[in-house]
Structure 1
Amino acid sequence: MQTAQQMYQEKLCKAAEALAVLRDGDMIIVPTGVGEPPALLTALSSQRRTFQDVKVAQILAMRKFDYFDIDTAHHVRHAALFLGGASRAAGQTGWCDFIPNYFSELPKLIDDGLMPADAVFSLASPINEQGFFSLSLGTDYTMAAVAKARAVVLECNPNVPFAHGQCHVHISQVTRIVESAEQVMEVGLPTIGPVQEAIGKYVADMIDDGSTLQIGYGGIPDAVVMQLSGKHDLGIHTEMMGDGILTLVECGAVTNRQKSFMKGKMVATFALGSNKLYQFMHHNPMIEMHPSNFTNDPYIAGQNDKLMSINASLQVDLLGQCGSESIGHLPYSGTGGQSDFVRAANRSRGGKSFIVLPSTAKDNTLSRIVPVLSPGTHVSTSKNDVNYVVTEYGVAQLRGKSAKQRAQALIAIAHPDFRGELRAAANKMGVF
């Protein structure tokens, strides 16, 4: 019987050679963010013209590899589960695929065969003595794809942490192995200005000691984090493990001692931050990385008492509908985990969900609080789910409120320059 190391050596190859596992028409599943394997995707880009109709499905691509090419999109193209800087232009002009989804349901879409998973390309930790790799940087939907795929190719890198949780793949499940040694991509904290700070203070003031946090990506969620250093016994149950959370651990605000679900553990499904964060995750018994159908499931996440969900939006209408992922009909990002965690916080005993956004856009020329969402806008959080909406002008609590009360509360936190026309629009619509 072969040992794990013998199997490893037998499956080890160069990135270009690993592409032999692919077939025309394949869907390649790639993890969220920095879990993407750069050597494999660079090799795929170089050889893209040798394939037909191969798709690369991923939430939040970080690097604009050469396969992001309109002229070769019929050979290899991106299938965006969430758009970011690398993929947004392709998504808005239609030469990459855009697949709407809830982050929590992606593993089930793969399990049920509704989203193909022919191959997996993923960054992974080195193999351990028991023959396991850790997909710590992007556990998400990738673990479901590993169980389903015809071919699993791992790019092993000594800079990838070996984390605890449901994020381990055994050598027997792997088809090919590629080695790389470059530093894992680092993603810095967003820039925070006075508007973000003001919003962050409103939210921070409403978070009690002993709360469990879900923190989305962006300047405003991070502005909230920066103002939580004086809190006590916070817990973490989130989708993204980032440097803001690490800061709260280091200052003693996060202890996980008062969590009602998985006490003592920080739970996440992907990591996005600095090398310091990745090193912090390595064999850290405080952290568990789990698939998104565990971390983001509203029933599971809602078992945390006082769950605080903090997510950004682009536009909110007077009924409370949140357009967080498109500008009109043009996709800008994706649903991600916003809807999952808003509903989880609503289920949680003592939970609160916060939708945060500046009151204006384009140098104060456009109001983000609007009578109705722009035509074609993708609704991310429904009127029935939204709880607190926060701008730099205050907090509007919407659950249990009538349409008239909602409009009044939202106009009160709009930029003063737009409140008159919002009232006039509400009157015209028969809301007032």
Structure 2
Amino acid sequence: MTTRIMELYKKRLTNIDGALKNIQSNDFIIAALGGSEPIPLLEELHRVKDLGVRNCELSNCLPMKDYEFIKNPEYQDAIFTAGWFYSPIMRKANKNGNVSFAPQHLHNAFTKRLYARDGRRLVLLCSCSSMDKHGYLTLSLGTTYERHAIEEGAFVIAVVNSKLPRTFGDTIVHVSEVDVIIEADYEVPTLPIAPINELDQKIGDYIAELVEDGSTIQLGIGGIPNAVAEALKVKKHLGIHTEMFTDGMVDLLNCGAVDNSHKTLYKGKTIATFALGSGKLYDFIDDNPSVVFKYGKWTNSPYVVGQNHKMVSINTTIEVDLSGQCASESIGPVQFSGTGGQSDTAIGAQLSPEGKSFIALYSTTDIKDKEGGVTTISKIVPMLKQGAAVSLSRNDVDYVVTEYGAVRLRGRTIKERVERLISIAHPDFRDQLRFEAKQHGIW
């Protein structure tokens, strides 16, 4: 390592208190996504209020911890939080009025005109792996919008954590591009692997049956996507082009089902825009040139996704109506998660020659009433709940899958869709669904 590189690094090095002094009133602050969050810095960010900072807005996605500036409305005059994918932390804080949801697609996760409004200064808070002898750090677990923010001139405050994996692709950052550095070794945030239940396995098997050898796949998170990954282990020559790199994908690579040999884009490489999972996943991506992280704007562009050979998109939803509309992010008007890349990849997969898009859900769910009683309801419904956000329009739905089967809606009339969706609804609700479809003229 040259003397010049070390001087650049040391010149930027400070502590948490020093970093907080770089936050100014009216800043638009962008926090890195999920496991890439600079946790020690965000844990203290609320203290900028004591420094006289006011009227900042912070954009985040999948926050991993219950930070004081999020959960405590007393800090909203200093930092108001706008999240574009809610975790349980954000769902809880939303009730306080100091947090609001920002609707957008993942492939538009960073557009400068959205952030630079009102002349606000852009500030990126991120975490990085350790610097190498050439002066390069990496954004480690992803570059959904982080690298793009750097290139658009954001003031960059980075927490360097030696425990973060070193990754390849658009995650590479030179020390000269960072304005402030804090060193802090802490455990990398992990995401528990969702267990696979009997319903997940049935759905996973239905989907896997329709995935051909040589397909390029995208998977979401949760029990159903994990079951799909498990069922795909018998396939051959699969490829991965996904927004989120997961533990299930590591298993598919390790067992040989995925070799990326038939891909159109980046043949031989696994493409993702961020990773979140267990220590096993982080060990796999560490210093692994076969896993390439690309801008979310590129990775999730439907036109890029559609260039992949036999692209298959697999996502989940909360509720589907009889015309095929999917509410995947809210329960009625109450924000639950976010759109993420669902429509990006669903539309992209259908642009691919021989591509397929799957939306999966359980046929029923249990809800509690005010008295604590439990009622089972159908998740295939005549009409979405009042106020529900339509995450995937009926024009963009291909296959819908429950534990009762998989049906294709693409190109089908409403009348055909009604019959097909009722056929995979829970048997206890099929007669009622037919009655309501007739009553409301859904055909």
Which bin holds the TM-score, normalised by the shorter protein? over 0.9
Please list the CA deviations of residues 312-333 of structure 1 after superposition, one character each: whole Å capped at 9, or x if unmatched.
1000001100000001011111
Report % sequence identity: 40
Correspondence for 1:18: 19
Please list the CA deviations of residues 367-424 of structure 1 after superposition, one character each: whole Å capped at 9, or x if unmatched.
1100011111101001110000000011121001001000110011111111111101
Correspondence for 1:123: 127
Correspondence for 1:142: 146
Correspondence for 1:392: 403
What SS class does the counterpart of residue 435 from structure 2 fall into? helix
From 224, 230, 244, give the equivalent of 1:226: 230
From 296, 304, 307, give the equivalent of 1:292: 296
CA contact 2:126–2:159 (8 Å) conserved in 1? yes
**Which stretch of the first structure deviates more once superposed, 271-280 or 357-366?**
357-366
Q: CA deviation at 1:170?
A: 1.5
Correspondence for 2:36: 35
Q: Given the superposition, is the C-alpha separation of residues 354 and 265 from structure 1 closer, same or farther in structure 2, using an over 3 Å criterion?
A: same
Q: Given the superposition, is the C-alpha separation of residues 274 and 48 from structure 1 closer, same or farther in structure 2, using an over 3 Å criterion?
A: farther
Please list the CA deviations of residues 254-274 of structure 1 after superposition, one character each: whole Å capped at 9, or x if unmatched.
111111221001000111011
Q: CA deviation at 1:87?
A: 0.9
Look up the equivalent residue of 1:412 and give its one-letter code.
S
Matched, 1:410 2:421: yes
What TM-score, normalized by structure 2, do the two folds share? 0.94
1:345-384 matches, within 5 Å, as 345-362=349-366, 365-384=376-395
Q: CA deviation at 1:112?
A: 7.8
**Which stretch of the first structure deviates more once superposed, 375-384 or 270-279?**
270-279
From 50, 53, 56, give the equivalent of 1:54: 56
From 319, 322, 326, give the equivalent of 1:322: 326
Correspondence for 1:80: 83
Q: Given the superposition, is the C-alpha separation of residues 243 and 415 from structure 1 closer, same or farther in structure 2, using an over 3 Å criterion?
A: same
Hey, what's the Cα distance between the residues in 2 that align with 1:93 and 1:403? 41
Hey, what's the Cα distance between the residues in 2 that align with 1:85 and 1:227? 29
Please list the CA deviations of residues 61-85 of structure 1 after superposition, one character each: whole Å capped at 9, or x if unmatched.
1111111212222222321011011
**Which stretch of the first structure deviates more once superposed, 394-403 or 24-33?**
24-33
Q: Given the superposition, is the C-alpha separation of residues 114 and 314 from structure 1 closer, same or farther in structure 2, using an over 3 Å criterion?
A: farther
Say how many residue pairs are matched. 432
Q: Given the superposition, is the C-alpha separation of residues 165 and 383 from structure 1 closer, same or farther in structure 2, using an over 3 Å criterion?
A: same
CA contact 2:314–2:359 (8 Å) conserved in 1? yes
Q: CA deviation at 1:110?
A: 5.2
Q: CA deviation at 1:45?
A: 3.0
Q: CA deviation at 1:228?
A: 1.2
CA contact 1:54–1:75 (8 Å) conserved in 2? yes
Please list the CA deviations of residues 315-358 of structure 1 after superposition, one character each: whole Å capped at 9, or x if unmatched.
00011000000010111111100000001101011111100000
Gaps of 5+ in 1: none
Correspondence for 2:251: 247
CA contact 1:320–1:382 (8 Å) conserved in 2? yes
Look up the equivalent residue of 1:293 and give its one-letter code.
K
Hey, what's the Cα distance between the residues in 2 that align with 1:408 and 1:178? 59
Hey, what's the Cα distance between the residues in 2 that align with 1:138 and 1:53? 28
Q: CA deviation at 1:252?
A: 1.1
What TM-score, normalized by structure 1, do the two folds share? 0.96
What SS class does the counterpart of residue 355 from structure 1 fall into? strand
1:150-229 matches, within 5 Å, as 150-229=154-233
